Amino acid sequence: MPDLPKTADIVIVGGGAVGTSIAYHLARRGGKVVLVEKEAIASGSTGRAAGLITQQFKTELHIKLAQESLAFFKRLASSGEHGLVFRETGYLHLLCTPEELAAAPRYVELQRRLGIDSQLLTPAETARLVPGLETGDILGATNCPQDGYTDPHLSTNAFVTLAKEYGAQVFTYTEVVGIDVVDGRVQKVRTTRGDVQTRVVVNAAGPWAALVGEMVGLDLPVRPFRRQLWFTLAVDEIASDAPVLFDTNHDFYFRKEGAGVLMCLGNPAEPCGFDTTVDWSFAPKVAAYATHRFPPLAKAQIASAWAAPRDMTPDHEPILGFIPGVEGFVTAAGGSGHGFMLAPAVGRLIAELILDGESSLDLAPLTIQRFLGKQFPLSAYSPVGA
């Protein structure tokens, strides 16, 4: 690996999907970009994500971010250059409460107005999409047939490849140990491999974003919570093209993974922290709910599991943009489970913000300003119900 340069226009901290997307979008516009990652590319929450991608958001801003990102992922896959496959399976959001059912038509109408083929389904229509699904306790679902999933690790490495083609320098196993601020402005990033003088630092450290914020005297409202994913042996009863299933009310999802199923169930008792060990005592609860929702899973066996921290904010929305009080310090973190799926659009918009002074989509609802002067208990960050 070459030596770390002494200077750079922009230093990006974090080699997950968001950081590498920002590196690509900055570099393709001519910025002198250095990205540093304390371990391997996509070794944190990105590489252990389920890769789910949906456009079924509830605000125009989020829908546009998702539309752009989905189109980008599909172009990456169709290029045939990165070993990437996008599985266009559809994405079922189950409606389990009267409140969810009452709100769904409004969100579907907004999505359809913005060009998304969203559908509001009855329980019977939902059951026909996923034979064997328990629908007796749901009130309906929404679906977008163009949604689906892809491989987060391959996608992130594709961003790295593209960024390097435009001149970005990427340094793995290079940990940031400090950021120097002089007269209220970023001056230098200090790492385990040397220092880089810079005028802009992008905090794309995901669950570790608050630790990077502390280096410039900030208390960023981003906290890590473990998310555990469970993988089963073969389940013949669910088709290879079955839609992703997401139950917000129970913080549960599953999708096909090879011959088996990849699934996740939120744990309301999960403490804040960076623990990435698997809590096998929670497996029976996962199995109980999974087999209730999809009874054929009773025949399956959990074969493996893994865990990673997710970067959560109190309103479960990311923090994007410059941080007041520290000139040159940009944050792009707090994805709250949506970081990977929105990374292509977020990368482009953050690049615009840095190079042009403004972005082509108004990111005001996602800036740090919404949290300034407020304090939040840890319970506010809980991913369950996000």
What is the pLDDT at residue 146? 97
**2 DSSP 8-state letter:** P
Side-chain half-sphere of 213: how many Cα atoms within 13 Å?
A: 23
Residue 385 has pLDDT above 70, yes or no: no
* CB atoms inside a 10 Å sphere around CB 169: 19
Please say if the pLDDT value at position 2 is more than 90: no
3 state SS of 27:
helix
230 vs 286: CA distance, rounded Å: 8
pLDDT for 306 equals: 95
Our separate counts of H helices and E strands in the chain read 8, 19
DSSP 320: E
Q: Is the pTM of this model over 0.75?
A: yes
- Residue 348's φ and ψ, nearest 5 degrees, are -65, -45
Long-range contacts of 275-283, Cβ-Cβ distance < 8 Å, separation of 24 or more: 275/226, 275/307, 275/309, 276/226, 276/306, 276/307, 276/308, 276/309, 277/307, 278/228, 278/305, 278/306, 278/307, 279/226, 279/228, 279/307, 280/305, 282/228, 283/230
Taking only the tens place, the pLDDT of each residue in 198-229 is 999 999 999 999 999 999 999 999 999 999 99
pLDDT at 384 over 80: no
**For residue 211, what is the enclosing H or E element?**
helix 209-214
Rounded to an integer, what is the distance from CA 32 to the centroid of its chain? Answer: 26
What span, in angstroms and rounded, lies between the C-alpha atoms of 274 and 283? 20
**From CA 61, how far away is CA 304, in angstroms rounded?**
37
d(CA 4, CA 360): 33
C-alpha torsion angle, residues 53, 55, 59, 62 (rounded to 10): 50
* Cβ atoms of 213 and 203 closer than 8 Å: yes
Type of residue at 376: F
Q: pLDDT by residue (tens digit) across 345-378? A: 999 999 999 999 999 999 999 999 999 989 999 8
- Residue 331's SS3 state is strand
What is the C-alpha to C-alpha distance for residues 18 and 348, in angstroms, rounded to an integer?
10
- Nearest Cα residue to 378 out of 312, 318, 319: 312
User: In this predicted model, what pLDDT tens digit does every residue of 291-346 receive, in sequence order?
Assistant: 999 999 998 999 999 999 999 999 999 999 999 999 999 999 999 999 999 999 99
Grouping H, G, I as helix, E, B as strand and the rest as coil, residue 114 is coil
Q: Give residue 107's Cα distance to chain centre.
A: 21
Residue 176 CA to chain centroid, in angstroms? 22
Q: Provide the pLDDT for residue 248.
A: 85
pLDDT band at 382 (very low <50, low <70, confident <90, very high): confident
Give residue-wise pLDDT tens across range 169-186. 999 999 999 999 999 999
The dihedral region occupied by 354, where left means phi > 0, alpha psi between -120 and 50, and beta the remainder, is: alpha
What per-residue confidence (pLDDT) applies to 386? Answer: 38
Average pLDDT, the chain: 95
What are the backbone angles phi and psi of residue 290, rounded to the nearest 5°? -60, -40
pLDDT in tens, 25-56: 999 999 899 999 999 999 999 999 999 999 99
Q: What is the DSSP letter of 353?
A: H
Residue 248 per-residue DSSP state = G
All domains of the chain, ordered by start, with CATH? 10-47+153-222+315-381 (3.50.50.60), 91-147+224-310 (3.30.9.10)
Residue 43 has φ and ψ, to the nearest 5°, of -85, -10
For the stretch 107-149, pLDDT in tens is 999 999 999 999 999 999 999 999 999 999 999 999 999 999 9
